[in-house]
Structure 1
């Protein structure tokens, strides 16, 4: 989902320079058991993405584990810092004028060919009656 979200962000800015686009990230939070993890996804090459764990912590469920609260505060401070930085970068991306001689983000993403969209057919309301 993070890759899709990142591609969607670039979708309206396909003439953005690759240098700016490589700094743009999307974020996801994953919870497994009592572990809370924040990770980011960014573009690192043509059709290549990088997922990085930014911070992780345990969710304390008892008073004995109260020292984990400091890590939770750090977790949310990391989110805030990343969001503030990304807001600045996205403004830069949205306001940047395309440069003719630089590599653009459209050259780095895998975009479907135009004919792909013409082959799509609507799905009938009663999907059970579709014959293959």
Structure 2
């Protein structure tokens, strides 16, 4: 695994690309769910078609099987989370109360790219 930028051992810069639309910057915060974060970092890059859940969040299925870890149900616009029931990485598009998910981090820039995405668009999550 690469050394994290800026001397941090708990925060990793990510890029979330939407094919033909642009990219958003994000940060994976390891202490929120260390086992989940490590599994995702090892699996990067992850790519799949975007799905939407009631305009609350956009998500891609990863194929990873990771158990529940430090789960919470309240998320804010721009939060990243891992949904254990189907192995998905979720990007919250609005504040929401949802089923328990593992918190991952936050979108740090250009969330509008994800908000403008449509179901079926291809999302790629990779190290920045």
TM above 0.5, yes or no, is no
Q: Which has the higher strand share?
A: 2
Q: Report the structure, 1 or 2, having the larger helix content.
A: 1
TM-score scaled to structure 2, two decimals? 0.24
| Bigger CA radius of gyration | 1
Larger RCO of the pair (alpha carbons < 8 Å, separation 6+): 2
